[in-house]
Each structure stands twice: as structure tokens, then as C-alpha cells.
Structure 1
Amino acid sequence: MIFLETVHRKRRHILQRELHESNALLDAVINGTDYAIFVVDEEGVFKLYSRGAERMLGYVPSQIVGQNAMLFSQKVCVPEEIASRARRIQEQYGRPPVGIEVFKLPLRDDGPFGQEWINIRADGSRLTVAVMMWELKDADGEPQGSLAIVRDISRIKELEEVKHDFIATVSHELRTPLTSIQGALGLTTAGVAGPLPEKASELLAIAYRNTEHLVRLINDILDIEKIEAGKISVETKTLDASDALRGALESNRPYADRFGVHMVLKGATAGILASADPARLAQVLANLLSNASKYSPPGGEVWVATEVLPETVRFSVRDFGPG
């Protein structure tokens, strides 16, 4: 009996030590990060409030643990944002959120970092945060509460704003004079200012094409900005696929000529109707054709074609360069 009691005591000591080490590790992970970590039970009461949350928001754990999470959220969140998210949840789920569901239920328009909120610190200053939430369950799969991890993304938002302003300013400052230069070159090459020597005409034509390429690059930059902001517009129309392909070839042939590359139309049956945005289609084809021309060997060919599939039309661009 004494032997068994000694064995049980040693085993209990080992288990207690392992539990202590496990808790110490968990505490280090939770409180060693700059992220704010919260645990809320099914009644909406805070059970855990990490040191990262204290550093982020300025409230100490003794002020928060045991308090109602919804009341605290109304203190640190902007009321208009809570009301706006509640309306969007109503639209998406067909019912209003109950309690902290306004923070738990995901929306289709949540950002890449999760829900984005403006939070108000204890000192009144504001920060932008991203919130990700998970439901906690017990061993039987029954809900036990929620875990929230909050990240301060204020700096990221500031950099995004700086990037947006930079792109908008540079694009405007470049596009306006380039458009004027392009117009003047176009009129000159068309002979509006009088006949030109053949060599001068060739040089002006090159300048015009390069200006056109720069304008297209600026438009591409603006389009990337719109895509990232989710504001890209697409206006679909019924168009002739072969006409669209031939138009792209004609527009991009001068660029291919610079590399000594010949564009070959391999297949484009007339009368194939497709639903697409003409401007976006031309943009995509121009990018494909310019890349194919740039990376083809001198004297090489770029094959282009359209192919009718059961419900779509496939545009293909094939080059014979490396890669």
C-alpha cells in the first residue's frame, strides 16, 4: 500500500508539474504577444483579457474580467459602426444580431484581416483594429463561449492611405501632360501641321506609340488600385469576339514590330458573339500580347486565336520564348 501511495504521489507530482509548465507556456503565448486576446463565455462575460489587450486599449484586466462584454464593446467601439454592422447582418442573415453576435457573425465584405473596427482607448485616442473570432466548444461539442484575437492595423491603414494618395497624385500629374503630348503627337503624325520628312514621321510615330504605352501603364496602375478597393467597374456588352481580337492585334502590332515579332491570327471565326466589357477585354489582350512580344525571340511569332466552348469563348495567346 505504501508503495502504491508513493507511486500515485510521484505520478500526481509529475502531472502537476506538466500542468504547471503547460499553463506557463500558454500564459507566455497569450500575454507575450502584442495582439489583444479575449475569451467571453456563453453569457457574454469576460473570462480572459490579455496583457496585449491592456497595452492596446489601456484598460487593466481587473477592470474587465467578469464584466459584460457587450457593455465594454459599446465603450470601446464607435456606436455608428456597431449600428452599421448590425444593419448589414440583418440584410445578410435575415434577422438582427443578438448580443455579441454583432461581433461574432461574419460578413461577406469583411476585410482580409477580419472584421475592421475603430476602437477608442481608455485615454480617448483611436486606433483601427482587425478582429477575428472563433467559437469555443467543450469535449461534447457544446458551445462554451468565444475567443477573439484583435490586431492593431492602424499603421497598415495609414500606409494604405499614403499609397492611395501617392498613386492618385502621380497618376493625375503624369496622365494629364501625357494625354496632351499624345494628342499633339497624333495630330502631327496625321499631317495637321504639314507634311513631314519620312525619317521625322517615323520618329514621331515611335514617340506616339511610347506615349500610348505610358498612358496604358498609368491606367493599369489606377485599375489595380480600384481592384484592391473593390471599386472596379465592368460594363458587359455583346460583341464579336473575332473583331475584338483583330482590333487588339492592330493596336499592339506596332509594339510587336519593335521586337521583330510577327503576330499570327491562327483562328478567329467571324460572327462569334460574346458578352464582355470591351475596354477590359482590350486591356487584358493588350497585356497578354505585349508580354508575348517582349519575351519572344527576334523573328519569332505570337499565335492568337479564339475558340468556341460550350458556354464561353476562349481567347488564346501563345509565344515561343523561354519559360
Structure 2
Amino acid sequence: MKRTGMQTSRVAIALGAFLVIIIAAIAIAAIVLLRKQEIDDWSKQSAAFSRMLAETTAQQMSTAFLALDSIVERIQDSSISDADYLKKALKTPEFYQLLREKVAISPQIDVIGVVDEEGNIINYSRDYPAPQRSVADRDYFIEQKSKLGQGAYVSRPLHNRANGAWTFYISRRLTGSDGEFIGIVQLGVSPAFYSAFYERVSLRGQAAISMIRNDFTLLARWPAKDAMMGLRDTGSAAYQVTQVLQKKSDVIIRDGADENGGKPVHVMEAVQVVDKYPLIVSFSIDDALYLSDWRRTSLLIAMVASGTIIAVIVAFGMLAAMFKRREEDLMVTTVLKQQAEDINKSQTALLQNLTEQQLALKDSSDRMEAIFQNAADGIIMIDEDGNIEAFNRAAQVIYGYKDAEVVGRHSKMFSPPGKYDLLELAMSRNEFVHTGQIHLEDEPVRNGGELFPAELSISEYYLSGKRKLIVIVRDITERRNMERIKSEFISTVSHELRTPLTAIRGSLGLVLGGAAGHLSDKAKPLISIAYKNSESLTRLINDLLDIQKIEAGKMDFKYELLPLQRLLESSVGDNQSFAQNLGVRIELLDNDVAGAVIRVDAGRFQQIMANLLSNACKYSPYASEVTVLASRMEGTRVRVEVVDRGEGIPEKFRHRIFQKFSQADSSDTRAKGGTGLGLSITQAIVNQMQGEIGYYSQSTATGQETHFFVEFPCWPAPSSQPEQVSAEAHPS
């Protein structure tokens, strides 16, 4: 009996120890898995938060850049030719009022000013007349003055000399008629605006949010710290993501210090590069926040596991003692063992229930509420029946309704009578049906019945098996007004100048041709220069009118089926004298397109060839040759190429070569002549006539060659009369 009792007590002790190990292992594994899951969840939320901040920053910056560009265009379109004229023309109350209106566009814009070539303020939005103040020592002035083609430059944050507040500046260079530097336009952005915005969305002050220039210089931050403003930190998470990892966005965890006591903590940082702008947004939280729920849950698990272990130890201790006392207590020991196993099962079930409750709490978390309510754009959430479920503050401002007035009502209240509501508008588009997302422009109605232009982004998602819609609304009234004003301005200037300029050009041509008698040797060069400049102005106005017609869809085309070879011979002949004046020769090479017929407007085709040939001649070396070659492509298409042997197209210019007013180098373009509109117009005409345009460069034994080409489909021989159609009838 004694031997049996000793063996049974040892088995009980071993089993108790095994159960303790199992319980401890389960508790540790649960804690480790919960920690990994918590970090993964927060990483996804931080990445989403940083993307939202980057999109909001891009939207806000687009407003500032648009205001800056509109002022630069206003100045450049005013035919300001030199620095002295700039000072006289812009030092007016009217221009001061214009600057004030631009500042009022967006709250993040603090000040706008125009600075002359010496760094002195000519006019700015705070006071009129402008105070005698110099910005010649500022980094943005030095950069714009020293670097031709700098474009928009974002400065380091500086103390504003007017009010002492931190400000960083976006600037653009102003050039005279000869391409010389005559000053800059500066737009001051307030870091305090972004600091206040970041504070509102910083998870109740527990997150740190920074806006950084792409060279890792701090521009704005919450919590705001003066000592950090303008510092360049190459040890930051932004540097690790963009330079070391070569990514545009990522979430990393690294060692750091908390904001208050400087104690070492683990910091999770989400980095996102802002599209189209030299900016980076960083969103960071420490482990006191992202591991807080895990720590509470881990403590509860540890307490439950400890209680279970103590219970097991006590139970098996009692069993061992009872086994030693008497054999007849075996039945009691068996019952206690069963009780211990039941306790273990109940504790395991308790751990599982706690884990499920934690996940349920995460699903119902309101962490994204701050993002929803403080977004710059209006956000509307709609159920599968079209009823409104949520309506953020920006949407309330846009539509003029309060949240309580729209939630629960149908979204058709935002649509004019007889028009689709938001759900029907999305479902009517094939793109949304196939992808679940769509971006479009529409005219919804405000409270009171006023229609306004808006940009809508509609996406679908599923919650508990039910389809929902998220609609992001942006009021584009101001953008439409600016586009209309720009179009009206170009139209008025072009038409008002065209008639007198035609008369001037004709008169100068008659005088130069001897209609007014013999010209002296001194007068003839002056008249010749004036005549050439009047021709350049006429071409500029014609280009502006062509651009306006293309944008309005009112350019007329008279389509004909014409032999390609005859068109090419005519183009070469018409442009040969222009080439000879530049010391260049145009040659049409033998080809295999005999009998090829294309359907084009003959005049517009000659305009395409004239633009390509004149560009090739202007940038070809003296005594060189521009060649025109044609070939048949695969299928039923023909290609026409214009080849020059100049210096080629700069790499940094290639992505915008077909944009309006694009010029590879302003000083070089001034020397060669041109408006920067030719290739843009050419591309529009080619697309309108169902063709394609492109270019490529290649190195040969004799140097660099640049090939500009156009492709058109071949047609059967002519069998009908020419037809005249407009650009609206045949969209590209």
C-alpha cells in the first residue's frame, strides 16, 4: 500500500508540473501573438493615416501652388520685359488688392509678395505700400536667382520678419524678355496652420505628426518645437524609408525617446511621400499608445494564468498529500483531478473569450472618427439603399446642412430634380460596376437649391455582408471660375491684338518692299527687325487661338483622302526657304509609301509638318541636313519621321515636351524663337485626325539624331467628296 501511495503521488506531482508548464506556455504564446497582432493592426492604421495626411497635404498645397502660378502667369502675360518695368508695373493698389484676394483663398497661405532682382519687396499682401524690406539673404531668393529653370522652390522655415512667426515660402522665378532674372514671386505658408490641423487629428494628442521637405528638413510639426524647425535630420524614419529602402511609403519601428521625459521607448513611424510635391509626411506613435491595449490584456492573461497555476499546484499538492495518507482516498483524488482538468478547460475557454472580446472591441473602435470629421473634403457614407449614414463637417460646410438634417434621409436630396442620386450616379457608370471606384465631376445642389460644380470620388466597401458607399466631395467652384477667367482673358487679348497687328505687319511689309520709296541703309535693318517681330507676334496669337479652339472643341476639319507622297513633297517645298535662311537643307528620302492614301485635313497636315520641320531646322547645326522619311508600319498604318542632328532633347524636359508653353531652355528658346505652343497644338491636331505622335533619340556614328514621328491609318483610294466636320463631331 505504501509503495502504491508513493508511486501515485509522484505521478500526481509530474502531472501537476506538466499542467503548469502547459498553462504558462499557452499564456506566453497568447501574449506574444496578441502583441504581434496589435503591432500589425496599428501599422495598417498608421499607414492609412499617413496616406490620408499626404492626400490632404497635396490638396492644400495644390491651392497654394495654384495661387502662386496664377500670379506668375498674370505677371508674365503682362509683357513685363525687364526689372525696371516690373517695379513700375506691380507697385500699384490694384496689384496689392489682387495679392490680398489670393491670400484669402486658403487659410494656410500667410502672405504673398513680389520681389525685385535685388531682393527688395515691390508689393505684398500685408501692407500697401510695401515696406522697405530685403529678402536677398533668404535661401529661396538665392536659389531662384542662381539657378535657371529652378521652377517652384520650397524654402526652409524662417522667422517672418513682419510678425516673427515661423513661415516657409514657395517661390517662382520671374524672367525678362531676354530670359534674364528680374525677380521672384513668393508665397508664405504658415506651419502654425498645419500644427493646429495635426493637433486636431493626432489621436487626442498622443501622436506626433511632421511635414518634411524632401531633403529631410522639418517644415511643420505637432507637437510644435521651435528648436527642431528647419533642422535637417538624415537619421529620421523618412530618410530610412525613402533613401535606404527606396520606397515612397512604409511603416518602421525603431528606438526613440518620448516627447516629455525623454525616456527610451519604441516608436512606430509611418512615412508617406506627397505626390507631385517635394514633401514627406511622417506619423509616429510610441509603444505607450499602440501597446496599451495589449499590456492590459497581457496583465489579465497573466493574472488568469497565475491563478490557474496556483489552483493546479494547490490541487495537485492536496492530491499528493492525500495519496500519501491513505490509499482509500483514491476516489477523492480522482475527483479532484477531474476538477483540476475542468478548471483548466474553463480557464482556456476564458482566455479564448477574452481574445474574442478584444477583437470585437477593435472592430467597434472609434479611432478613425477624428480622421473622418477633420478631413478637408466632404465625406458622405451611404447604405445600399441610398440612405445617408454619416456626414462629416466639411460636407456640412459644402452642402449647407447640419449632420442631424441629413442622416437617415435619401441621398437624392443632393441631386437636382430629374437627376441621378449618388447611388444611381455611381451605378450608371461601367467603370464603377467593374472596379467599385469612380472619379467624376457633377453639379449637386446645396441647401437652398443652388447648383455648384463638384468633383466626386465614389468607392464601395462591404460591412457585415452589406454594400456601402463612401463619397468624397470637393467643391471646385473656384477652380472653374479661374479656368473661365483665363479662357476669357486669352480670347480677348488674342482677338484685340490680331487686327491691329495684321495691319502693322502688312504696312511694314509694304515699306520693306519699297512701296514707300527707297529706304536708307540705317532704316532698312530696323524695319526688317520690326517686320520679323510682328510675324512672331502673329504666330503667337494664332497659336493662342488654335489652343483656345482645341480646348473648346471648335476647331473645324475638312477631311479628304489624299496621297501621302504628294503631301510630303508639298511640305518639303513650302518649308525649304525657311530652312535655307537658317543654313539648313530639307531632303525627302526615297520611301515605300507610293500609293498610300490618308484621311486628313490638308491644311492641318501642312501645319503639323511645318511645326515639326521648323523645330528641326532651328535646332540643327549650320550647313546640316533635316531629312523626312516615310514608311509602312505593321497593319494598315504609315509613319512620317522628321530627323535632325542637333544636340537632342534634355532628359529633364522629355516628360513635358508636349505640354503648353513648354520650352527646353528659356534662354535657348528665346534665341531660336518660338512660343512653346507648337508641339502641344501639333499633338492635339494629330489626335483629332485619329493619328499618333511621338519622338525618340538615338546615337549614330556621326552624332546624335532626334526623330519626331506621326502615324496615320491608310485608307482606300478616294471614292467620295471631301467632308467638313468639327472637333466636336470626331473627338480624339
> How would you bin the TM-score normalised by the shorter chain?
0.7 to 0.9
The answer as to whether partners of 2:378 and 2:394 remain within 8 angstroms in 1 is yes
Counterpart contact for 1:236–1:277, Cα < 8 Å? yes
Higher relative contact order (CA 8 A, sep 6+): 1
| Alpha-carbon spacing, 1:230–1:24, altered in 2? closer, same or farther (3 Å) | farther
Contact 2:443/2:451, CA 8 A, preserved across alignment:
no
2:502 to 164, 172, 179: 179
User: 2-side partners of 1:308 and 1:263: how far apart?
Assistant: 21
Greater CA deviation, 55-64 or 254-263? 254-263
How far apart, CA to CA, are the structure 2 residues paired with 1:135 and 1:230?
A: 34
Counterpart residue number, 2:445: 119
Per-residue Cα deviation, 1:173-219 (whole angstroms, up to 9, x for no partner): 32222222233344445555567689977876665455334323322
Task: Report the Cα offset of residue 132 of structure 1.
Answer: 3.0
Asked whether 1:262 is paired with 2:581, we answer: no
In structure 2, relative to structure 1, the CA distance for the partners of 1:304 and 1:176 (3 Å cut) is: same
AA in 2 matched with 1:174: L
Is 2:370 the counterpart of 1:24? no
Q: Does the CA-based 8 Å contact 2:374-2:394 persist in structure 1?
A: yes
Per the TM alignment, residue 167 of structure 1 is displaced from its structure 2 partner at its CA by 0.8
Quick check: 1:209–1:254 contact (8 Å CA) kept in 2? no
1:44 paired with 2:386, answer yes
- The aligned residue for residue 122 of structure 2 is none
Question: Where does 1:1-323 land on structure 2 (aligned, <5 Å)?
Answer: 1=345, 3-8=347-352, 10-12=354-356, 14-16=358-360, 18-19=362-363, 23-25=366-368, 27-70=369-412, 72-74=413-415, 77=416, 79=417, 82=418, 100-102=423-425, 104-106=427-429, 114-117=440-443, 119-120=445-446, 122=447, 127-137=452-462, 144-189=467-512, 192-193=515-516, 208-267=531-590, 272-309=596-633, 311-323=636-648
> Which structure carries more helix by proportion?
1
Per the alignment, residue 21 of structure 2 pairs with: none
Moved more, 261-270 or 198-207: 198-207
CA RMSD in angstroms, aligned pairs only? 3.6
Runs of 5+ consecutive residues of structure 1 not aligned to the other structure = 87-97
1:64 Cα deviation after fit: 0.7
Structure 1 residues 2 and 102, CA, compared in 2 at 3 Å: closer, same or farther?
closer
Question: Once the 2 structures are TM-superposed, how far is the Cα of residue 229 of structure 1 from its aligned partner?
Answer: 3.2
Which letter maps to 1:153?
Answer: I
Q: Which residue of 1 aligns with 2:58?
A: none
Note if contact 1:130-1:150 (Cα within 8 Å) is conserved in structure 2.
Answer: yes
Question: d(CA) in 2 for partners of 1:60 and 1:3?
Answer: 50
CA distance in 1, matches of 2:484, 2:559: 31
- Cα deviation code 1:160-182 (max 9, x no counterpart): 01110111122113222222223
Q: Tell me the distance in 1 between the aligned counterparts of 2:590 and 2:525.
A: 32
Aligned match of 2:32: none
Structure 1 residues 7 and 139, CA gap change in structure 2 (3 angstroms): closer
Partner SS, residue 429 of structure 2: coil
Q: Which residue of 2 aligns with 1:95?
A: none
CA distance in 2, matches of 1:134, 1:271: 52
In structure 2, the gaps of 5 or more residues are: 1-344, 432-437, 649-732
One-letter amino acid of the structure 2 residue matched with residue 54 of structure 1: Q
8 Å contact kept, 1:265–1:303: yes
Check 1:283–1:296 CA distance in 2 against 1; reply closer, same or farther (3 A cut): same
Q: Deviations over 1:266-318 (max 9, x none)?
A: 24777654221122212221221122122222222211133345534422101
* Structure 2 partner of 1:94: none
SS in 1 for 2:381: strand
> Displacement, 1:250?
4.1
TM-score by length of 2: 0.36
Query: How far apart are the structure 2 equivalents of 1:204 and 1:246?
Result: 33
Q: How many residue pairs are counted as aligned between the two chains?
A: 296
2:502 counterpart SS class: helix
Q: Which amino acid aligns with 2:359?
A: L
Give the Å deviation of 1:136: 4.0
What is the distance in 2 between the residues matched to 1:259 and 1:228?
Answer: 33
Would the alpha carbon gap of residues 188 and 254 (structure 1) be closer, same or farther in structure 2, given more than 3 Å must change? farther
Secondary structure of 2:562's aligned partner: strand
Structure 1 length-normalised TM:
0.75
Once residues 279 and 55 of structure 1 are traced to their aligned partners in structure 2, the CA distance between those partners, rounded to angstroms, is 52
Instruction: For residues 39-82 of structure 1, give each alpha carbon's deviation from its aligned partner in whole angstroms, at most 9, with x where no partner exists.
Output: 22222211222222112112111111111222x124xx4x4xx5
Distance 2:521 2:385 in 1: 84
* 1:146 Cα offset (Å): 3.1
